[in-house]
Structure 1
Amino acid sequence: MSSAMNVDVEDHYFSSNPPPKALAHHEALARDFINQHAAANRRVVLITSGGTTVPLERNTVRFIDNFSAGTRGATSAEYFLESGYAVIFLHRQFSLQPYSRHYSHATGCFLDFLQEDATGTGVVAADDHADELLAVLRKYRAARTRNTLLAIPFVTITDYLHELRAIARLMRPLGPRGLLYLAAAVSDFFVPPDRMPEHKIQSTDATDFLQKQKEEEEAEEEETFDNFDSSPTVPRSKRLVIDLDPVPKFLKNLVDGWAPNQFIVSFKLETDPNILVHKARYSLERYQHHLVVGNLLTTRKWEVVFVSPGRSDRWLRVPSPAWKQVDPEAEAHKPLDPSDLPDGEPAVEIESLIIPAIERLHEEHIKSHQARVDGARS
């Protein structure tokens, strides 16, 4: 698609899909945050995290969603903060967030981490969790004190795209010191507003009496039900049939217009190991950004693959005794077999490997950009 066509599609989408009500407020927060850290010569990363919903009604009751809880984005944010970045955390409302993620979606209740103090008049950390809680609290307080973490929520796919475009544009003055880490699970399809019913889709004919007498027979015949029952015994006229349009691909717009010179990282999640690298390479060639982090649904906590221009594909894998005997050079191009995974969670978070590796690539990007600027001046 040509640049002109990209712009036309962008103009049409954003003009026909209203922005979130809080967009202006979020822009003001992001502008102040970026200006503060630009003045301090600090690198800024925009992390997108969590899934986007697809509303089926304007007064939304029903929507399409995905499984993402925002684990990758929230975890990565902590490691970027430890590396000295300021973080704009554009996240799905109520998804995991940095630091609180350790407790907000824990298997046990958060109250299990607390106990009464010796006097019975206050609350303290439970003895077996005190050190862990203190370490997390100190990191969180440091980010708050230094104002290095700004959290901005979204809910729908349209909210997400409006917020992403606005914040990416605000990051332009950062030049190559800006980094976009696009870890959100973005919906591929949506219902355009002009095809979206205003009110809740009805599942019965209980409101038919409100129709005019002359329309009753037709309404009875054409009433659409949302029972999602595909059984042949259910007439097609009684099912909910959703007509979705593809969400325009704006990554090229991001690369060329919204955030030129920024270092841009996207993610590719697949379930078929035979197509993962191919799909990642296709995305890289199509959008001309800097890095695709590929991961498989079943092994995403254990390994990822870096696909970037001019480099061999690089697999990052959490160390484990289960595959100590594997020759890393001979097997580097082969994804793990899920049946070989150890029981339980990895001993370390794979984001602790991903973020330092991206930081090194970002440093190369900054130096390369500066070399081009210096060469143009000479």
Structure 2
Amino acid sequence: MSVGIDKIGFFTPNKYVDMVDLAHARNEDPNKFLIGIGQTAMSIADKTQDAVSMGINATLRYMDKIDKDKVGLLIFGTESSVDQSKSASLFVKNALNLPASMRAFEVKEACFGLTAGLMMARDFVRVHPDQTAIVIGSDIARYGIKTPGEVTQGAGSISLLVKDNPSILELNDGHSDYSEDINDFWRPNNSKLAKVDGKYSTQVYLDFFSKTFEAYKKQKNLANKDFTAITYHMPFTKMALKANRIAIEGQDEATSQRLTDKFEAAKKWSSLVGNIYTGSLYLSLLSLLEHGNLKAGDLVGLFSYGSGAMGEFYSGNVVLGYEDQLDKSGDEELINSRRKLSIAEYEQIFTDSLADPQDGVALLSDEKPGTWYFAGTKDDIRQYKKI
């Protein structure tokens, strides 16, 4: 039997910062951000959007196309958790009226969380082919105003439906893993801002890519030329570009050109949305599917990385008619309809979002009708509402 990705839902908040504006405000050459980092814009979450609300909204993108009664597993991968005990998946389950007879939990390993959930979902469906699984990756990347990591922030969520005989991507057997206890990125319990050693993290990321990519090719008896495209965890596009350069080094002209062209297609959405942590690899996959002119059977490699650190490489084959399962125009509208913030507005929204709302005070959202949002707390219990 084949198991894989049958639906993909994407959500990002309705506000963004332009990198040229940010560069000017920070007295930097815009090309440092546009070329040196590879980013054009980044989505900004205000205090009414968190990991849970974004996860609900991403999953809503395909809920009317599936049989909810067949969902037997819901996994929520995040490093922007809203509760130290209760799983984010239970908030989502309630909002979407999913069945009570299902397993639901949250997982964490930095940006690797969605991949960990996807692998568990794949194995679950293999054992329970009559059921489906929803896996969500949802995060807000925050490093702080006027910090070195400021330009690599972002916010968004990706939701995947996993089932047998999938309509988008069949996941292949096998994968290669590599992990070490490394302090390249972390966020202490007492901080809402992440800590990162940027240059070291990039070095580790590239090292883990090389190790897992080589191990996977050996395991599956594959060569670089066998991949139609390779997608990467993409916290900022220049980081993934460096990995792609490793993949094309020493290859024939046709292979190098193909992998380069597909990389350009895969980075489009990430360059406009920014870093969404657990969902970053899958935002690049979505962008590849929507802009890469793939055909049935094409082999796509996927490199997942979570700081701390965990790396994994696996692959999938594109399914005939996958285009019909995507909502490219909806994704374009979601990104293009965002409101551009002035730097002063961005800084105020960012600062406000770091403070917990006063208990009992309702929050109001300016997202479009039908969008779910975090409405504040009541008796210290988080409230989620739909506009």
* Fold match (TM-score > 0.5): no
**Please, what TM-score do these two structures have when normalized by structure 2?**
0.23
**Please, what TM-score do these two structures have when normalized by structure 1?**
0.23
Q: Which of 1 and 2 has greater Rg?
A: 1
User: Which structure has more RCO (C-alpha within 8 Å, separation ≥ 6)?
Assistant: 2
